[in-house]
């Protein structure tokens, strides 16, 4: 077994994901099979290989920094328009601290 129910609960917690007992029971064998398949990569010796994080190709140096100038952005009203809960120009969230 690559992954147990306990591991799955731990990972779900890291990912802020609520999973039901049925979901855990269904996912564990699937995740285990997929992770087992991924072990295939260990057949390759990659000691000398540089990891590839992005696609690279020949091109002129990019201007990745824009000029430091004011530009119009979204109004507060627009930025809050999709918020599930807002008020007084802010996003509103439930209590951050647990009750003692």
Partner 1 sequence: MELRGLTIARVRSALESGETSAAALAEQVLAYAQQENQRNNAFLAFSPERALAQAQRIDEMVKRRQPLPPLAGVPLAVKDVIVTRGLRTTCASRILANYVPPYDATAVRRLEEAGAVILGKTNCDEFAMGSSTENSAYAPVRNPRDLERVPGGSSGGSAAAVAADMCVVALGSDTGGSIRQPASFCGVVGLMGTYGRVSRYGLVAFASSLDHIGPFGKTVRDAAALLEVMAGRDPSDSTSAAVPVPGYLAELDRPEARDLRGFRLGVPREYFAAGLDPEVGDRVQAGIERLRGLGADIRDIRLPHTDYAIACYYIICMAEASSNLARYDGVRYGVRSPRCRNLSLAECYRATRGEGFGPEVKRRIMLGTYVLSAGYYNAYYRKAQKVRALVARDFSEAFRDVDVIVTPVAPTPAFRLGEKTEDPLRMYLSDIYTITASLAGIPGISVPCGANGAGLPIGMQILARHFNEPAMLRAAHAFELSG
Binding stretches for partner 1 (CB under 8 A): 3, 7-8, 11-12, 14-20, 23, 26-27, 30-31, 33-35, 37-44, 46, 49-60, 62-64, 66, 74, 78-79, 81-85, 91, 93-98
* 8 A C-beta contact, residue 21 and residue 5: no
Taking the complex as a whole, how short is the minimal distance between the CB of residue 18 and partner 1, in angstroms? 3
CA atoms within 13 A on the CB side of 53: 0
Query: What is the residue whose two structure tokens read 């201007």?
Result: 63
Smallest gap from Cβ 3 to partner 1, in A, equals 7
Neighbours of 28 (CB within 10 A): 19
78: helix, coil or strand? Answer: helix
- We find the least distance from the C-beta atom of residue 68 to partner 1, in angstroms, to be 13
């Amino acid at each position: 077994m690559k992954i147990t129910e306990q591991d799955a609960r731990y990972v779900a917690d890291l990912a802020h994901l609520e999973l039901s007992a049925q979901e855990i029971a269904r996912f564990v064998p699937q995740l285990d099979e997929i992770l087992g398949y991924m072990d295939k990569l260990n057949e390759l010796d990659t000691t000398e290989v540089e990891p590839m994080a992005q696609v690279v190709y020949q091109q002129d140096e990019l201007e990745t920094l824009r000029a430091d100038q004011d530009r119009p952005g979204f109004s507060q009203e627009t930025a809050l328009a999709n918020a599930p809960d807002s008020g007084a120009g802010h996003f509103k969230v439930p209590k951050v601290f647990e009750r003692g």
